[in-house]
């Protein structure tokens, strides 16, 4: 197991896709997991049941990461109900694609609020708890779009690029409190987010991936668990790309 028995992890957006795989992997590796969701309580509860069915400990909480107050309540609850915090994975994320010339400020800011401001507020609250406990690890889920810039995804790319820069700042400030902060930047991964893409666009991108396939959520989750655990004890401020070779190609 990668984690000690008392390890407590929070995963935002843990009801589906990559966040679900991350919650399951952290639990399999020994952590108690608090997973959040925005709307799909049934999906979140299924993840909790799966973890509990394998002898693990999990809780699901409804939290809109675009709402500062809800995030503050989440960490207050984690303190009360779990007593400590060791790992935070900022995974919750949305796309609202459109070309720049047609993109409203609302559409730009909505995506920034969920993907970037939400991760900032959650990291701030987690850092306060972890600093008191002298240690922890934060993993932020960005995207290759945050490095390359995606056509029709200016808002999403800006949020994911900002998340990488934010994580470096967090890693610098966190170091004095023994808190590490890293990024996992996935390429195309088989989740609802990618299923929403037009088939021909996905087929085109797939040709550009040296491994000629999209990733599985579990293949991102194992990178997240590694960066969150003590095996990565000297890694901070790093961006770990998980993309089947897309950026390299």
- Under the rule (CB under 6 A), what is the footprint of ligand NAP? 12-13, 15-19, 36-40, 43, 63-66, 91-94, 114, 141, 143, 186, 188-189, 191-194
Look at residues 44, 85, 79 and name the one whose alpha carbon lies nearest to residue 63: 44
Shortest separation between residue 134's beta carbon and ligand NAP, angstroms: 29
Nearer to ligand NAP, 70 or 79 (CB): 70
**C-alpha of 31 from chain center:** 16
Look at residues 14, 127, 7, 128 and name the one whose alpha carbon lies nearest to residue 65: 14
Shortest separation between residue 123's beta carbon and ligand NAP, angstroms: 14
Beta strands 179-186 and 32-37 are unpaired
Contact present, 66 and 106 (Cβ < 8 Å): no
Nearer to ligand NAP, 117 or 236 (CB): 117
Nearer to ligand NAP, 46 or 133 (CB): 46
Shortest separation between residue 167's beta carbon and ligand NAP, angstroms: 13
Active site residue 37: no
φ/ψ of residue 11, rounded to 5: -125, 115
Q: Which of 75, 108, 156, 188 is catalytic?
A: 156
Nearer to ligand NAP, 85 or 209 (CB): 209
DSSP 121: H
Residue listed under structure tokens 């995506």: 111
Shortest separation between residue 188's beta carbon and ligand NAP, angstroms: 5
The alpha carbon dihedral of 35, 42, 48, 28 has a sign of negative
Instruction: Give the catalytic positions in this structure.
Output: 156
């Amino acid at each position: 197991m990668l984690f000690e028995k008392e390890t407590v992890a929070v995963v935002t957006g843990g009801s589906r896709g990559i966040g679900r795989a991350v919650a399951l992997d952290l639990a399999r590796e020994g952590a108690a997991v608090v997973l959040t969701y925005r709307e799909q309580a049934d999906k979140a509860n299924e993840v909790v049941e799966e973890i509990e069915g394998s002898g693990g400990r999990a809780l699901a909480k409804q939290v809109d990461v675009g709402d500062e107050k809800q995030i503050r309540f989440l960490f207050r609850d984690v303190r009360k109900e779990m007593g400590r915090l060791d790992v935070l994975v900022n995974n919750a994320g949305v796309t609202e694609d459109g070309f720049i010339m047609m993109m409203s400020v609302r559409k730009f800011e909505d995506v920034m609020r969920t993907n970037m401001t939400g991760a900032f507020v959650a990291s701030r609250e987690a850092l306060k708890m972890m600093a008191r406990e002298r240690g922890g690890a934060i993993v932020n889920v960005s995207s290759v779009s945050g490095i390359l810039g995606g056509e029709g995804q200016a808002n999403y790319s800006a949020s994911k690029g900002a998340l990488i820069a934010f994580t470096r700042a967090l890693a610098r400030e966190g170091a004095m409190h023994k808190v590490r902060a890293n990024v996992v930047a996935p390429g195309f991964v088989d989740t609802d987010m990618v299923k929403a893409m037009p088939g021909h666009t996905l087929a085109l991108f797939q040709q550009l991936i040296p491994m000629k396939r999209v990733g599985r959520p579990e293949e991102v989750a194992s990178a997240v668990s590694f960066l969150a655990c003590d095996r990565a004890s000297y890694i901070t401020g790093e961006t770990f790309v998980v993309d089947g070779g897309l950026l390299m190609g």
